[in-house]
Structure 1
Amino acid sequence: MSMTHRTTLKQIADAAGVTAATVSMALRNSPRISLAMRERLQTLAAQMNYHPDPLIAALAGRRSGRRRGEEIGTIAWVTAYPERQGWYCTTFSPGAYAGARARAAQQGYRVEHFWLREPGMTARRLSEILHSRGIRGVCVAPLPEGFGHMRLRWEWFSCAAVGYSMVRPSLHRACPHQFQGMLHTLKTLRKRGYRRIGVALEKRVSRIVVHNWLAAILVFRQMHGAASIRHFTYPTPDRAEMERWIGQNRPDAMVVPDVALLGWARDAGRKISPEGIGLATLERYSGYAGLDQRPEVVGASAIDLVIGQIQRNETGIPADPKVVMVEGVWVDGPSVRLK
């Protein structure tokens, strides 16, 4: 049996004329090693076909002395709603925050909320506060409309965003898989026997999800024909407009992303059918069937992106931003028939 010999740090160090400790820090992107030296040693390691030994890495982690659950750092959860707790009144962000905190705790970190609209606060001031406290990780929470550009000193931080509302700069981000979620919702309704599905989309929300919901609607229409689905977009919620549209199009089921509109859709449906129409949401809402976008998993995934960068000593705006998409799951409820 042939043996595969791993290239060692010492072999790289001997070839470069430096110590093994210098090579180790360079491969971990430690700022204690100059950028030129890091690039030189990383190139040499690649040429020598070096790969870290996962068993040695695990042993080194144990020897570091960190006990499970012990705090080793803080990750900033940055919000920018007009009110300090405005983000917590949304349907998605509280779950994402809970998931972020739980995942961070598993890795020995804690998550602390920072409000960018604190009186006297600026992006520069917040950057200085975080930097002075030694906070290396930043997770940008879902932002309100019109606040998609944030000017932190990104080069100081390992960072990621939750959702698509953070437009500039383009960071790594974790998001619900909105295209999959809408398509899964529509397919589920069709399997339950609904043949004239309506979808209400607020223009602002459609922009926030980069039109992924609309894309899924168009694909479903192509799959099942124009009569299978109708949608209407509206600039602001309007009860009379929704009742008019439902009366004209007579859907047998409605997908309503905004839970505030469910009552309007329910009442309008009863006017065209004694037993009413099927109602599905794109958020978890007691008493209704629909999609669970799993905000806790999305928040945890965003923290994974931040911690991974911290461990690799990666900071700043990424050259190749990555998007982690979390698939939603259908949740049954009395507002949609089971068969």
Structure 2
Amino acid sequence: MDNLTIALDAMSGDFGPRIVVPAALKALDHHQNLKIILVGNTSEISPFLSENHPRLTIVESTSVITNEMKPSFAIRHSQGSSMRVAIEQVKLKQAQACVSAGNTGALMGLSKLLLYSIPGIERPALVATLPTIKKGNTVILDLGANAECNSEMLVQFAIMGSILASTMSDITKPRVALLNIGKEDIKGLDRIRAAANILKADERINFVGYLEGDELLTGKTDVLVCDGFVGNVTLKTVEGLIKIFLSSTQLMSKGNSIFAKLAGHWVQKKMANYFGHLNPSHYNGACLLGLQSIVIKSHGGANQNSFLAAIEQAILAIENNIPERIASSLSSVLPKSENNQCLQKF
């Protein structure tokens, strides 16, 4: 593919330039056709650059949107912030994607304000492709962009997730499920059951029913839909457990005896072979699906490798023309005459 350009909110996250800049340099090493725009305070960015890089530029910003800010306040006072300026690089066609580890609500609001949603989509959703035990993938959304979702939004998420799974994994009829507290039809909140009834009746969606939380990584579905509150809690719980599990295998290799150390190393190697692909640092980066442009949300506490993974997600989204494909496929699912009335339809 021709040159790619990505704007990075260098001041975002828990560590700012200390993590973002080294990750950017790694990405440039890995992709010779990549250009990066670092948005932030030059005086804070420069110490992490040993020399000028021909494919890296700095765009100055004057403020930072912190995680403690309420999204409404952050958006009203966003002029000159690193997050807004990074998104504006996409709006101005200076970059094809933006990556930020900043305030999720502010990123969602500013992205929708500046880049606009795809026609027929009420609100974008944070989506990530998670690995499964069987080394397949499951698309899960929403992961925190919308804490509360009505049935119409859940249906829209299911449609977008199905299109994404079909595009990224080349699946003809992706299996779609709703995350719920049970598999029976009577279980769950009214909005989940209402969404299920709509998806059952739509022959264009391969709806396979409800999935419970303990089946998240089993590969029983290609697309898993939930509201942002449940999705965020579920994802972070799973990630936390995986981190504990993987770190416990490392501790086993530090036994007191030679036998314990050898046994620990053997177990660690075996566990890494079977479960290493589930390491959260390998799949950091959630796409705001439903926008007309590409915006990737990184974990605020991401390390260098994790932020690099988020940059890789942006590259993958660019190379696969995700917004264009979503818009094109969605226009056939929701005809133009119905785009403005999609909520009534669903």
Q: Same fold (TM over 0.5)?
A: no
Structure in which a larger fraction of residues adopt helix: 2
Tell me which structure has the larger Cα radius of gyration: 1
Superposition TM-score, scaled by structure 2 size: 0.31
Superposition TM-score, scaled by structure 1 size: 0.32
